[in-house]
Chain A
Amino acid sequence: MVVKLEKPVRPLPPKQSRYGPDPDHIKTRTCDLENIVSVRVREFFRDIPESIYPSERGIKAVREATVNALTNVDMSMIKPENSVNILGSHHGFLLAGGEPYAEMLKTIRDIIADKTGSENLRLKVGVGLRFRESDEYIRRFGLDEYFGKGKAKGVAPIDEGIPIETEIGTLYGIKRCYDADWIVHAHNSDVREIHFHRHVDKAVKPFGMSYARIETRSTYHQNLGPRSANFVARAIFNSELVQNKWTFATFLKPTPAGIAGVDADNDLFALDERLTKENFRHYGKILSLLSQIDECIVVLDFQAPIPYVFSAGMIFANFSAASVDIFDLDYPLPGYTWYTEAFYGTDDRPLIPDTPPINPAIKAMVINYAWGGYPSVFWAKMIPTIVVGEHQADVFDKDPQNIEFMNHAVVAKDLQTAIEFTTRIADTDKILIFDGATEAINVSKPLAEELVEKVTEVDKEVEQKLIPKWCRQRGIKIEKQI
């Protein structure tokens, strides 16, 4: 297969956030270093659809796609006098710079107003473990002005709760998510935390997470199991409280190559099945390819916490978990998930035999730019870690979720020094960069060449063997495949 190696694709500039270092400190980006090249994701897998964003049509392509997706969606249950909460998640704002998700949210608002006459339309955006993150995005993308004063707000899992009776017992949601007559589920189809949800009911997950209180999230990550966890989302979605307020879902559809479109449906499970099959093909292939890497240094260089920095659409947590096929439910524990981390004993060894390790291909990790706000000590314990600059170390030292992170990492004065040191100790020149470069993957030339060599075989294996298996495991009939 002939694949063109190009000049590195430049990632988005660093963003100001209370969770990260001052952008002025980020002097050098990893793609600026010598011997770094870029491969367009669609060069690897040509069946990944062309992006509508970025594209020559700009952000209006996202508005058009949202309008088209909502054309046949039933909104007749919403009356002019009714209130509607459009429920979103912080995560959408990490995709392609965040503007596409913001535009989708604005468009949903406009279409509901047009179709139903309702003027009481609010935006409630959930978060992960950084409780002000969504408020930062709401301000950055002008959503507070767009929705009207006080109508666009971030919500957090420690905010006031509401009990939700489900078929497995009482769980808890965030009260402000459910304080309207109707709810709209405005999310995205990125696989993102597949190490947690294992792509079982992925589209339903925010009901057990972004819109949920701490009790529910703790149930997800501590009370069930690595392949049962996402059932809390289905249990809440199926509850009387949610079903009485349910209208429809609208999803931004990213691929590893950009934003491919928007999908919408009144039937969330039908939408989930469509998105699942597409993700198996697109994300399944790229992660399977990255899983073929036998050794590498990873460099994190993006405005997100350690697990959420992107490379070719896959987050670092996925790659670190990929010592086994994390799409395959025959494997109980991925190399990384909270159930896996929880099952490491006092001596930092697994309590259960045969627990897969953190991806052994990762020989070292350099952190040039990342946020705090996610418990990340496990990675520093398992992977030799070099942090670039005291400013970045300070982010971890002052983060209640990472106070001990720097006990397991060292500081390099600059990126060049960190890479030279790491290349020497890891004895490899293969560098995989998680910098969120849209549409492409930035890597060192030797790693690019290795990926090119392996891509044809991976494509064939995923298409012929793995997609049928992944579908079968989730009750998705083979004859209904793409």
Chain B
Amino acid sequence: MRVINMYAEVNPEICTGCKICEKVCPILSVKVFGEKKEKRAVVDLSTCVGCGACVERCDFEGAIILKTLEKSKIIGVDPKSVDEKEITELCLEAKIHPEQIVCFCTGTRANEVAAATLLGATSPEEISRKTGVRTGCKVECIEPILRLLKAAGIEPTPVEKGWQWYGITPTIWDIPEEVIQKYSARGFYFEEDKALLKKLLENVK
């Protein structure tokens, strides 16, 4: 669940249509239209959540700014709208506790991302649009989303020419045994951390 109280607004007098905003928008709400010098960014206000990625990376001061919505909105997927057993199975396949927080900014839990996936979302962008996950810091929660999609048998393709995300990365369960052996004495407690995560997953109701 995500409260939306801001939105992005483009100043066409300053915007150069450089497309950086388009490349970094986590929910594909900004697109650049027009030819050559007429290129300008356009924000789809029906989907923009005011995460500020565009504003933070724009190289032209004032070309795109965040403004306050007169009335805030809420987006989200109720995990109760999906069979709890299916959510649990999907989360366990991804080795994530269903109640685990996957987005620290929005407080989104794995069960909400799983529910969005089970309701038909097939990419991180769609999941973000439905739940608001990955629209706070825009940094820390991409991998659990990709893990949950993978667990559902979905392998999304990164946005063409976009910088939204590039790919799924290793988890502690993928660390080769020789790496564990090589570095454990240097303070990397892989086996002990695996035991902790196993304990977490064993506590799933």
Stretch of B39-47, B114-122, B170-178 on the interface side = B170-178
B143 touches A158 (CB 8 A): no
Identify which of A132, A168, A199, A402 contacts B174 (C-beta below 8 A). A168
A218 touches B196 (CB 8 A): no
Residues of A within 8 A of B53 (CB): 158
A375 touches B179 (CB 8 A): no
Residues of B within 8 A of A213 (CB): 166
Which residue of chain A has the shortest Cβ distance to B5 in the bound complex?
A: A403
Residues of A within 8 A of B175 (CB): 168, 228, 231
Identify which of A158, A216, A227, A402 contacts B189 (C-beta below 8 A). A227
The main secondary structure of chain A at its interface with chain B is: loop
Q: Which of A123-169 contact B (CB under 8 A)?
A: 129, 131-132, 156-161, 163, 167-169
A401 touches B136 (CB 8 A): yes
What's the least CB distance linking B128 to chain A, in Å?
12
Instruction: Answer whether residue B130 sits at the interface, using C-beta atoms and an 8 A cutoff.
Output: no
Instruction: Answer whether residue A421 sits at the interface, using C-beta atoms and an 8 A cutoff.
Output: no
Most buried by A among B3, B101, B144: B101
Bound-complex Cα distance A227 to B137 (A): 23
B193 touches A352 (CB 8 A): no
With A160-B163, A329-B189, A332-B196 already in contact, the answer to whether A223 and B170 are too (CB < 8 A) is: yes
What's the least CB distance linking B181 to chain A, in Å?
12
A474 touches B169 (CB 8 A): no
Q: Which of A209-260 contact B (CB under 8 A)?
A: 213-219, 221-228, 230-231, 234
With A129-B139, A216-B169, A221-B140 already in contact, the answer to whether A351 and B100 are too (CB < 8 A) is: yes
With A160-B163, A215-B142, A351-B100 already in contact, the answer to whether A346 and B109 are too (CB < 8 A) is: yes
What's the least CB distance linking A480 to chain B, in Å?
14
Bound-complex Cα distance A225 to B163 (A): 26
Bound-complex Cα distance A375 to B105 (A): 5
A225 touches B190 (CB 8 A): yes
Instruction: Answer whether residue B156 sits at the interface, using C-beta atoms and an 8 A cutoff.
Output: no
Identify which of B97, B137, B200 contacts A375 (C-beta below 8 A). B137
Instruction: Answer whether residue A398 sits at the interface, using C-beta atoms and an 8 A cutoff.
Output: yes
What's the least CB distance linking A477 to chain B, in Å?
11
B105 touches A217 (CB 8 A): no
Instruction: Answer whether residue B104 sits at the interface, using C-beta atoms and an 8 A cutoff.
Output: yes
B196 touches A219 (CB 8 A): no
Which residue of chain A has the shortest Cβ distance to B185 in the bound complex?
A: A475
B5 touches A168 (CB 8 A): no
The count of chain A contact residues (Cβ–Cβ below 8 Å) is: 64
B6 touches A400 (CB 8 A): yes
What's the least CB distance linking A109 to chain B, in Å?
23
Bound-complex Cα distance A224 to B143 (A): 11
B193 touches A226 (CB 8 A): yes
What's the least CB distance linking A35 to chain B, in Å?
36
B105 touches A402 (CB 8 A): yes
Residues of B within 8 A of A170 (CB): 167, 169
What's the least CB distance linking B166 to chain A, in Å?
5
What's the least CB distance linking A108 to chain B, in Å?
26
Residues of A within 8 A of B135 (CB): 400
B57 touches A156 (CB 8 A): yes
Contact bitstring A317-353, B, C-beta under 8 A = 1, else 0: 0000000000001001100001001111110000110
What's the least CB distance linking B176 to chain A, in Å?
7
Residues of B within 8 A of A341 (CB): 101, 104
Instruction: Answer whether residue A377 sits at the interface, using C-beta atoms and an 8 A cutoff.
Output: yes
Q: Which of A370-406 contact B (CB under 8 A)?
A: 374-375, 377-378, 397-398, 400-404
A234 touches B183 (CB 8 A): yes
What's the least CB distance linking A200 to chain B, in Å?
4
Instruction: Answer whether residue B63 sits at the interface, using C-beta atoms and an 8 A cutoff.
Output: no
A214 touches B140 (CB 8 A): yes
A342 touches B100 (CB 8 A): yes
What's the least CB distance linking B155 to chain A, in Å?
15
What's the least CB distance linking A381 to chain B, in Å?
9
Instruction: Answer whether residue B138 sits at the interface, using C-beta atoms and an 8 A cutoff.
Output: yes
Which residue of chain A has the shortest Cβ distance to B135 in the bound complex?
A: A400
Instruction: Answer whether residue A201 sits at the interface, using C-beta atoms and an 8 A cutoff.
Output: yes
Residues of A within 8 A of B101 (CB): 341-342, 344
Bound-complex Cα distance A234 to B190 (A): 14
Contact bitstring A165-209, B, C-beta under 8 A = 1, else 0: 001111110000000000000000000000000111100000000
A345 touches B99 (CB 8 A): yes
What's the least CB distance linking A258 to chain B, in Å?
28
With A158-B139, A225-B196, A345-B99 already in contact, the answer to whether A168 and B179 are too (CB < 8 A) is: yes
Most buried by B among A169, A222, A234, A338: A222
What's the least CB distance linking B123 to chain A, in Å?
15
Residues of B within 8 A of A456 (CB): none
Instruction: Answer whether residue B85 sits at the interface, using C-beta atoms and an 8 A cutoff.
Output: no
With A226-B196, A333-B196, A375-B105 already in contact, the answer to whether A398 and B68 are too (CB < 8 A) is: yes
Bound-complex Cα distance A338 to B171 (A): 16
With A156-B57, A222-B143, A222-B144 already in contact, the answer to whether A215 and B169 are too (CB < 8 A) is: yes
Instruction: Answer whether residue B70 sits at the interface, using C-beta atoms and an 8 A cutoff.
Output: no
Instruction: Answer whether residue A71 sits at the interface, using C-beta atoms and an 8 A cutoff.
Output: no
Identify which of A129, A167, A168, A344 contacts B137 (C-beta below 8 A). A129
The contact sample of 17 A-B pairs, CB cut-off 8 A, is A131-B57, A158-B163, A167-B176, A169-B174, A172-B169, A216-B169, A217-B140, A218-B142, A218-B144, A223-B147, A227-B193, A228-B189, A228-B190, A231-B175, A231-B188, A341-B101, A403-B5
Task: Given A200-B188, A346-B99, output 12 extra A-B contacts at Cβ < 8 Å.
Answer: A158-B24, A158-B139, A168-B179, A217-B139, A218-B139, A225-B190, A225-B196, A227-B187, A234-B183, A332-B193, A344-B101, A475-B185
| 5 smallest beta-carbon distances between A and B, as pairs | A225-B193, A474-B187, A200-B187, A227-B189, A218-B143
